[in-house]
């Protein structure tokens, strides 16, 4: 393999690794921002913003809302009401909220009631029509709830599709650059696994750069990367399958496998011979 081809192969591997990394990141954000997941993960964030003293609290107009106090009153009322009923309904900030009486049977009844209360408000900002592009919303929204909205999910889904397509093109290019075709799936699988590894610690890594005075932002990270481990295992398993396929092709004695690889390599050799002949003919004409 010539120096130019080796250098180009290394460059393509670097591009493929970067593309896989972006693909894994976008897939993590896309899957983490599903409505059901946001609804489950959002209560601690909203509670901190409305009742806590985090850095973002000064940026949001809470209008005197005290969710903890409201849910504490609801829990107290439920203890009597639920003796003969299965569901308790109360009004909070103009919204009717229904809490199953089974919430009182959980390990932390108050937290269960709080989660039911907060979850009822998720649809308001998740499906909201934001009149701005994804990045311009960062400067327009005081508290960027749009980051955990349908708008954000659609944006990251688009990035995932783009990265997936780019990765596919690079994988095909890598196939033609690889001198040994049997090593091609091993190389692709290895790069996929390596690119997925950062997903295991990405939340902790980003947290290092968040100032203490706005620590509440870390609660957003809990939502963003709640599916990071799932993404890692998907890429890890696919990578292992590719590596296994490559090793199987490399050590297999099956004739059809050898024939396929021989035909591909033979075509490349014939192509090189034709190119050399054309170069010689062009030189003679001169």
Strand partners, 91: 96
- Coil, helix or strand at residue 42: coil
User: How far from each other are the two terminal CA atoms of the chain, in whole angstroms?
Assistant: 29
- Coil, helix or strand at residue 127: coil
pLDDT for residue 266:
74
pLDDT for residue 53:
43
The answer to whether 32 touches 42, Cβ cutoff 8 Å, is no
pLDDT for residue 7:
84
The answer to whether 22 touches 165, Cβ cutoff 8 Å, is no
- Picking from 83, 54, 51, the residue whose alpha carbon sits closest to that of residue 68 is 51
User: Which residues touch 128 (CB under 8 Å, ≥6 apart)?
Assistant: 145, 146, 149, 151
pLDDT by 10s per residue, the chain, length 286: 566 777 888 899 999 999 999 999 999 999 999 988 888 877 767 666 555 544 343 434 444 445 556 666 766 777 777 877 788 777 665 667 777 777 777 766 666 676 776 676 677 778 888 888 888 877 776 556 788 889 999 999 999 999 999 999 999 999 988 877 778 899 999 999 999 999 999 988 888 877 665 566 677 888 899 999 999 999 999 999 999 988 887 776 555 556 666 777 777 777 777 777 676 666 655 5
Residue 61 in tokens: 């107009």
Residue environment code for 222-256, b if the CB has 16+ CB neighbours within 10 A, otherwise e: ebbbbbbeebbebbbeebeebbebbeebeeeeeee
pTM of the model: 0.71
Q: Residues, the chain, total? A: 286
| C-alpha separations of 48 from 128, 215, 216, 271 in Å | 21, 10, 7, 66
In terms of C-beta distances under 8 Å and separation of at least 24 residues, what long-range contacts does 205-213 make, across chains too?
211/55, 213/55
pLDDT for residue 2:
66
pLDDT for residue 55:
38
Q: What is the dihedral of CA 127, 133, 139, 142, to 10 degrees?
A: -10
User: Which residues touch 258 (CB under 8 Å, ≥6 apart)?
Assistant: 252
pLDDT for residue 11:
93
Residue 156 in tokens: 């990251």
């Amino acid at each position: 393999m010539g120096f130019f081809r080796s250098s180009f192969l290394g460059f393509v591997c670097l591009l493929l690794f970067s593309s896989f990394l972006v693909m894994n990141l976008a897939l993590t954000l896309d899957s983490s921002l599903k409505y059901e997941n946001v609804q489950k993960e959002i209560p601690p964030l909203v509670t901190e913003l409305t009742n806590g003293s985090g850095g973002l609290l000064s940026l949001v107009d809470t209008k005197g809302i005290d969710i903890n106090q409201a849910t504490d009153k609801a829990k107290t009322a439920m203890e009597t009401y639920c003796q003969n009923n299965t569901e308790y309904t109360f009004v909070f900030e103009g919204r009717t909220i229904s809490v199953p009486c089974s919430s009182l049977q959980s390990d932390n009844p108050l937290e269960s009631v709080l989660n039911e209360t907060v979850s009822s408000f998720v649809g308001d900002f998740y499906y909201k029509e934001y009149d701005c592009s994804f990045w311009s919303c960062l400067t327009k929204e005081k508290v960027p709830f749009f980051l955990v909205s349908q708008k954000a999910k659609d944006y990251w889904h688009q990035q995932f599709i783009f990265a997936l397509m780019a990765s596919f093109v690079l994988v095909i290019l890598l196939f033609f650059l690889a001198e040994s075709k049997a090593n091609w799936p091993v190389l692709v699988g290895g790069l996929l696994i390596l690119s997925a590894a950062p997903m295991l610690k990405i939340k902790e890594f980003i947290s290092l750069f968040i100032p203490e005075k706005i620590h509440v932002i870390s609660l957003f990270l809990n939502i963003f990367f709640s599916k990071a481990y799932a993404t890692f295992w998907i890429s890890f398993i696919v990578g292992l399958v590719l590596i296994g396929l490559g090793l199987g092709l490399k050590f297999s004695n099956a004739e059809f496998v050898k024939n396929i690889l021989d035909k591909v390599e033979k075509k490349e050799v014939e192509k090189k011979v034709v190119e050399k002949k054309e170069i010689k003919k062009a030189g003679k004409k001169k």
